[in-house]
Amino acid sequence: MNAPKQPAPLIDLCRRVADRTAVIGIFGMGYVGLPLALRYSEMGFPVIGFDVDDSKIARLQSGGSYIEHIGAARVAAAVANGLEATTDMSRAAEADALMLCVPTPLNRYREPDLRFVLGTVESVASHLRSGQVVSLESTTYPGTTEEELVPRIENQGLTVGRDIFVVYSPEREDPGNADYPTERIPKVVGGITPACTEAGLALYGAAVDHVVPVSSTRTAEMTKLLENIQRAVNIGLVNELKLVCDRMGIDIFEVVKAAATKPFGFTPYYPGPGIGGHCIPIDPFYLTWKAREYGVHTRFIELAGEINARMPNFVVDKVADSLNRRGLPLKESRLLILGIAYKPNVDDMRESPSIALMERLREKGAILAYSDPHVPAFPKMREHSFDLQSTVLDAATLEVFDAVILATDHTSFDYDLIRDHARLIIDTRGRFQESLPHVVKA
């Protein structure tokens, strides 16, 4: 039986990708889009980076970086190699590949907020043409690509799978993880049609070491959700056990460490003051929202989310109780937060549990400062505001504060200095294993 004939626009697109003349357009020059743009530039492709943030575009055009783990020299080399950055969405017509790496947050009701995805699609819709491949990388619920992107694209008179090709390929970037740069992270690709999948495989196969085809965009969308829901649920479980162990006078970190010695059947997850990053606190709720359309109530996922969201309150209670035992009220106590990035050794603040912790402490009247070598000044954020600069740690500074709260355990912190000079340490990360009277596990 003869294989179905490939449409001419697909053949032309794959040829341009193969000879690296295809123009790669990436929308969203953040923690996902910028590494992707640099990778394609380094592979010899002409790349256009799109963003609505003028300051990012100016920084890129000058060969600079605004992401700590991405060196300016790498950006400058890409710019010298032809990488362009622009806010002009009409230039989407020049691109053979349009890759959407824009945020997918939740709204105030913990429901999917697709305004950045749909706004991007609508801003480029009139510039779409035959022979392009459109890839959505932003994490979202199953059905988004098929239900939201395809109709808007076909409204331009293009037939998906014949004239233009649409795929979903979830981003899997792990900021600051030097062991897994963009090219070493396998890419899952699902297309609206088999021809779309072929286009996606050609596109990503040119820049990534291993590409994993799946049967549909819905499967690819669900794959990303499963990856992050698994982590959210397991972190929720260990956070709940942390609450139980605290009541029982058991060190949960010692428990996890001991359990991890089992060479099979156990994967260690560690508790903390909450969960952060652009994936784990948000992605599970994309599925819970969509599942309701099918009459399914995802109780397990929602319970994990509730537990994880409660953890900053647990830490606040620990701070208040610990201060009270020293005859100090939480109100007007001077508190130093150690680490405000969402995980160690990066400058990424997205959904950081440190922010929720700081807001609750501020509401209680505490006087706050923070120290984070990766975040020299508290950044401008859509929903959070602190007019603070990072405090340099030394013995005299530590001794000024009524308590220090270890929220994110950066390896660059001098833990001996902190242990020896802080009056009171609230340790949410299990970094201080010694049994010391001024160290409280939270």
Cα distance between residue 120 and residue 142, in whole Å: 19
Q: What tokens does 8 get?
A: 């001419």
Residue whose entry in the numeric block shows the structure tokens 């286009």: 199
> Residues 420-438: what's their mean pLDDT?
93
Coil, helix or strand for 173? coil
Residue 1 scores a pLDDT above 80: no
Residue 434 scores a pLDDT above 90: no
State the first-to-last Cα distance of the chain, in angstroms, to the nearest integer.
Answer: 65
71 CB contacts (<8 Å, ≥6 apart)? 65
Asked if 35 contacts 181 with a C-beta cutoff of 8 angstroms, the reply is yes
Cα distance between residue 121 and residue 372, in whole Å: 37
Q: Letter for the amino acid at 280?
A: I
Read off the pTM: 0.92
User: What radius of gyration do the chain's Cα atoms show?
Assistant: 24
Q: What would the pLDDT profile of 17-33 be if each residue is shown by its tens digit? A: 999 999 999 999 999 99
pLDDT class of 3 with cuts at 50, 70, 90: low
The CATH number that domain 231-441 falls under is: 3.40.50.720
Q: Is the dihedral of CA 246, 250, 251, 252 positive or negative?
A: negative
Q: Sort strands 165-168 and 187-191 into parallel, antiparallel or unpaired.
A: antiparallel
Report the topology of domain 8-215: Rossmann fold (3.40.50)
DSSP H or E segment with residue 237: helix 217-248
CA–CA distances in Å: residue 331 to residues 44, 305, 321, 405: 58, 29, 12, 16
Let me know if 196 is a catalytic residue: no
Cα distance between residue 60 and residue 58, in whole Å: 5
Domain ranges of the chain: 8-215, 231-441
Say if residue 212 is exposed, middle or buried (CB neighbours under 10 Å; 0-12, 13-18, 19+).
Answer: middle
Cα distance between residue 217 and residue 191, in whole Å: 5
The confidence score (pLDDT) of residue 108 equals 82
Percent of the chain exceeding pLDDT 90 equals 92
> Residues 366-381: what's their mean pLDDT?
94
Lowest-pLDDT range of 66-75, 238-247, 279-288, 330-339: 279-288
Backbone dihedral region of 249: left (phi > 0), alpha (psi from -120 to 50 degrees) or beta?
left
Residue 384 scores a pLDDT above 80: no
Q: Does 110 or 241 have the greater pLDDT score?
A: 241
Maximum CA pair distance of the chain?
A: 84
Asked if 429 contacts 408 with a C-beta cutoff of 8 angstroms, the reply is yes
User: Cα torsion for 345, 347, 351, 355, to the nearest 10°?
Assistant: 90
Q: What tokens does 424 get?
A: 């009171």
Q: What tokens does 242 get?
A: 């942390």
CA–CA distances in Å: residue 251 to residues 204, 224, 435: 45, 33, 10
Coil, helix or strand for 29? coil
Q: Among residues 314, 272, 148, 283, which one has the least CA distance to residue 217?
A: 148
Q: What would the pLDDT profile of 193-223 be if each residue is shown by its tens digit? A: 999 999 999 999 999 999 999 999 999 999 9
Residue 122 scores a pLDDT above 90: yes
Q: What would the pLDDT profile of 286-309 be if each residue is shown by its tens digit? A: 999 999 999 999 999 999 999 999
Strands (E), 7-129: 24-27, 47-50, 84-86, 97-100
Q: Does 429 or 383 have the greater pLDDT score?
A: 429
The confidence score (pLDDT) of residue 379 equals 87
Q: Rounded mean pLDDT of the chain?
A: 95
Residue 142 scores a pLDDT above 90: yes
361 CB contacts (<8 Å, ≥6 apart)? 316, 319, 330, 335, 368
Coil, helix or strand for 33? helix
Note whether 8-215 and 231-441 share their fold. yes
Coil, helix or strand for 348? coil
Cα distance between residue 425 and residue 421, in whole Å: 10
Indicate which residue of 14, 101, 245, 279 is catalytic: 279
In three-state form (DSSP H/G/I as H, E/B as E, the rest C), the secondary structure along 101-115 is CCCCCECCCCCECCH
Q: What would the pLDDT profile of 355-371 be if each residue is shown by its tens digit? A: 999 999 999 999 999 99
The confidence score (pLDDT) of residue 433 equals 82
